[in-house]
Every structure is written in C-alpha cells, then in structure tokens.
Amino acid sequence: MSSQEKIFVVVNPTLDKQVALDRALITSQLITPRPEVCVFVAVDSNTVNLDARNPSIYRDTDWFEQQIHRPLKEAGLQYRIEVSWSNDWQGSIMASAKHFGATRIMIRAGKPIKSKRFIFAESKWELLKEATCPVVLVRDEAKPLRKVVLAAVNFQASRINQETLNKNILERGMDLAESYGADFHVVNAYIDSLLYPDRGRLAKHTGLKQSNTHVVKGYTDEVISKVSKQIDADVVIIGTLGQTGLTKSRRGNTAERVISALDVDVLVVNSEY
C-alpha cells in the first residue's frame, strides 16, 4: 500500500494485557510507510463489571504510561490517545474511527465460546456490521506473523451485494498479502453439488494458481477452519453484508460460526466498502 495506513486500536482498560495494541505494534513494523495509530480507551458496559468494588475499573497515570505510551514511543510511531466515557461503546468507536480516518480497526476478540449461541455481545456485532473500514478481531493467543493470508468467498452466490462483498474481500486480502509479503490463498465452501463454484471464474478474479485456490464441500465454518489449519494461515478474511434493509436485524450466524471456529486473527469486511 502506498498511502499511510491509520490503525484504530480499541483498548479495554480493565484488562491487564492489551493484545489488540500488541498486534498493532507488530503490524506497524511490517507496513511501509509506518502507520499512524489512534488508541481508543473505552469500556463496553455490556461486557464489563462496572461495580465500584471492581479494582480493574481504576487506572492511574502510571498504567497509561506503561501500557500505552511506552510501547508506542519505543516503536517510533506517530500516535494519539482518546479516552471515551460514553455509554454507547459501539457508537463512540464508530464516530471516533470515522473522525480519525481509520483504514482498519483492531479489537480484542477473546477466546471462542462454542457452547453459546452467540459469541459476541450485541454491541460488538453492531460494530462488525456497521464499521466503515475492516475490523480485525485479535485472538489472545494467535500467532503475530502475517506469512499466510486466507480469504473466504462465496462465488456460487448470484446476488449483487454478495458479488460486491466477494470483490471487497479479495481486494482487501490481496492488499494485505502484498503489504506483508505473505502467501495469499482463497477458500470457497459449498454444500450443493449443483451449485459448485466455478473454479475458472475464481482463478480469473484472483490470478492465483490452483494450489492456492481451495473449493471444498462442507459447511462454511468447518471448511474455512479446516483449510486455515491445513495452510497454517495467520489471518483469515471473511465478509458480512452491510446494514441495508432486513440485514439490520440479522446477526449473521454464518459469520459468527466462522469466527468461533477459528483460533487465528480474523479480518471482517462488509459489502459497503
């Protein structure tokens, strides 16, 4: 990428370890020119105990110096810090990221919770659906490397918004792989053999050799997880349809199942950008 990236990192001050900031610092060393970083400090009241007796909701100037200022200064990055006390966690992130001109948002995903129907609070899901730039969900124990990038597409779908989403996923994936000097792969799952994805069309859109194109029969979440492990992917790019019409009321169960099935960082793209 030729223009400077602007990475927007969401920090939860009640946590002792800031994996999203750690990943942003590592990522910044792999990108030329070095990105500008905005560290957004805010608490999601839907997921954090805000009781006054919780010692983790109190942070002093030493915490800010050690956890935020020092690592950013040592990385030699241009940065800014914003602190929000809005009770609209998702809305404040979106407003601040837009004002900053963010090209990607990085936020901790937490460990997959496969025993629950939904792995995200509604506020985080709204962020994924409505963000105006890609959102990187950072896993606590994911590999920090960016040597293999895997993009998940749905080329058997014929709807215009899905075709747009495929295009956005591929463009983001190619840009990401190029900026990191990483190996780029594409996966397309399918269930119905009558709707087998056109490999030729997929190859034409990606320019990839056959060994980097994976068309596999099975449920989307299981296929993506399987291929991710087979190629040792460091980051997986998936898509979610933007906020138009009835999609405003849908959580996107397929996307949530895919995220839950993966133990690596996930970059979420929607059809609006």
Q: What string of pLDDT tens digits covers the 273 residues of the chain?
A: 457 899 999 999 999 899 999 999 999 988 888 999 999 999 988 888 889 999 999 999 999 999 999 999 999 999 999 999 999 999 999 999 999 999 999 999 876 555 454 566 777 888 888 899 999 999 988 887 789 999 999 998 878 888 899 999 999 999 999 888 899 999 999 998 877 887 788 888 889 998 999 999 999 999 999 999 999 999 999 998 865 544 454 555 788 889 888 989 999 998 877
Co-location of 100 and 207 in the same domain: no
Last residue of a domain, one of 85, 108, 131: 108
Last residue of a domain, one of 108, 135, 170: 108
Question: Does 93 fall in a domain?
Answer: yes
Co-location of 158 and 239 in the same domain: yes
Nearest to 41 by CA among 93, 98, 108, 103: 93
Q: Count up the domains in the chain and report the number.
A: 2
Q: List strands edge to edge, sheet with 235-240.
A: 79-83, 36-41, 6-11, 104-108, 135-138, 265-270, 235-240, 148-153, 183-190, 213-217
Strand partners, 105: 8, 135
Question: Does 76 fall in a domain?
Answer: yes
Question: Does 120 fall in a domain?
Answer: no
Nearest to 187 by CA among 164, 158, 156: 156
Last residue of a domain, one of 54, 77, 108: 108
Question: Does 135 fall in a domain?
Answer: no
Co-location of 197 and 99 in the same domain: no
**Full-model pTM:** 0.90
Question: Does 129 fall in a domain?
Answer: no
CATH code where residue 188 lies: 3.40.50.12370
Question: Does 47 fall in a domain?
Answer: yes
Nearest to 176 by CA among 211, 150, 200, 138: 150
CATH code where residue 74 lies: 3.40.50.620
Question: Does 140 fall in a domain?
Answer: no
Co-location of 161 and 221 in the same domain: yes
Q: Distance (Å, rounded) from C-alpha 71 to C-alpha 75?
A: 6
Co-location of 259 and 167 in the same domain: yes
pLDDT score of 249: 46
Question: Does 36 fall in a domain?
Answer: yes
**Structural domain of residue 207, as residue ranges?**
148-270
Amino acid at 29: Q
Buried b (16+ CB within 10 A) or exposed e, 43-60: bbeeebeeeeeeeeeeee
Co-location of 260 and 154 in the same domain: yes
Co-location of 11 and 70 in the same domain: yes
Co-location of 95 and 152 in the same domain: no
Nearest to 102 by CA among 75, 127, 74, 76: 127
